[in-house]
Amino acid sequence: MNKKVEEILDIWHKHFEDEKNQYSEYEASDIDYFVGCMLYNHFAFSKALDNLKTMDLSYDFLSGCGEEYDDIKQIIADIKFEDKEEALAFLQTYIKEAKAKYTKPELYLLDRLEYHVNAMAQRYEKNVDVQKVDFENPLLKK
């Protein structure tokens, strides 16, 4: 795993070891998920769907992550690649390595992130332009 990402994970895993910093329904895998979201947002992928241009960072996590957030944000800002495909491969590798640390019940958020990133990777691979997703309430359709 990338040294900068390892540093970020170490900082937050140590921070959240203290139960007073944990929020309700905290899982250690949340940290890996939110770092993945920060990387996703930092790389600003051109083939991301409009409604997924930024992954939502949970208020619970952000309010519990402490003063380290600004330092971690800067470390992420220092991770740079020549093109989006390199950044995408980096993020996919990160997710794969993060998932290997947890059991299936702990992977919900990481699985969700992986699904969106892999779908975006297919759009890069096939050079498909971004399409909008319109969410509709099926109960209102008749």
Domain ranges of the chain: 3-127
Per-residue pLDDT at 139 exceeds 80: no
pTM (2 decimals)?
A: 0.76
Nearest to 117 by CA among 135, 137, 98: 98
Per-residue pLDDT at 124 exceeds 80: yes
Q: What is the DSSP letter of 50?
A: G
Burial label, 88 (beta-carbon count in 10 A; 0-12, 13-18, 19+):
buried
Average pLDDT over residues 130-138: 62
At position 69, the amino acid (one-letter code) is Y
pLDDT digits (tens, 9 = 90+) for 8-48: 999 999 999 999 999 888 999 999 999 999 999 888 888 78
Average pLDDT, the chain: 87
Which H, E and C letters describe 68-89, residue by residue? HHHHHHHHHHCCCCCCHHHHHH
Per-residue pLDDT at 80 exceeds 80: yes
